[in-house]
Amino acid sequence: MRTDVRIDLNAGEIRRLLYGPVGPVVRFIRSVARRVRTRAVLTCPVDTGRLRTAHREEVGVRAGRVYGFVENTVEYAAAVHDGTAAHVIRPRRPGGVLRFVTGGQVVFTSLVNHPGTRAQPWLREAMEDVARQEGFRLVRR
């Protein structure tokens, strides 16, 4: 017994499913990005709240690839996320002094040896948590 099967592929429909703004692939990536952003906002370190409110997500199609990302654009986000090494803090202007309060005392000095800060990788951890729940395998580069 022989059976003939014919499959007609509609390239336009396949493109719409894969890359269309309401296609299942883009919808899935959008939902993952939204979950990563929500988790990042909830686990972000908070001092003034500025870091927490600066998360943004983007999902789209470029060069035939669906992409999604979550970022934080505050200028100090990378220093909080990745930590900082020990470093010297100097006045902005030559001959200037630094002023700060420690232990209730006002201190003036020409430099400070900052010990650095520990990393608080809330954004990476949010991505890892959501990615694992969705069954992604994470590869570090």
Q: What would the 3-class secondary structure string for the chain be?
A: CCCCCCCCCCHHHHHHHHHCCCCHHHHHHHHHHHHHHHHHHHHCCCCCCHHHHCEEEEEEEECCEEEEEEEECCCCHHHHHHCECCEEECCCCCCCCEEEEECCEEEEECCEEECCECCCCHHHHHHHHHHHHCCCCCCCC
Q: Which two tokens stand for residue 89?
A: 């803090």
19 pLDDT more than 80: no
Can you give the pLDDT at residue 14?
79
Can you give the pLDDT at residue 35?
96
How many Cβ atoms from other residues are within 10 Å of residue 77's Cβ? Answer: 18
How much of the chain, in percent, has pLDDT values that exceed 70?
Answer: 99
Can you give the pLDDT at residue 16?
78
Q: What is the pLDDT of residues 88-119, one digit of tens each?
A: 999 999 989 999 998 999 999 999 999 999 99
Q: What is the pLDDT of residues 41-84, one digit of tens each?
A: 999 999 999 999 999 999 998 888 889 999 999 999 999 999 99
140 pLDDT more than 90: no
| pLDDT mean over 23-32 | 91
Residue 87: pLDDT band with limits 50, 70, 90: very high
Can you give the pLDDT at residue 45?
96
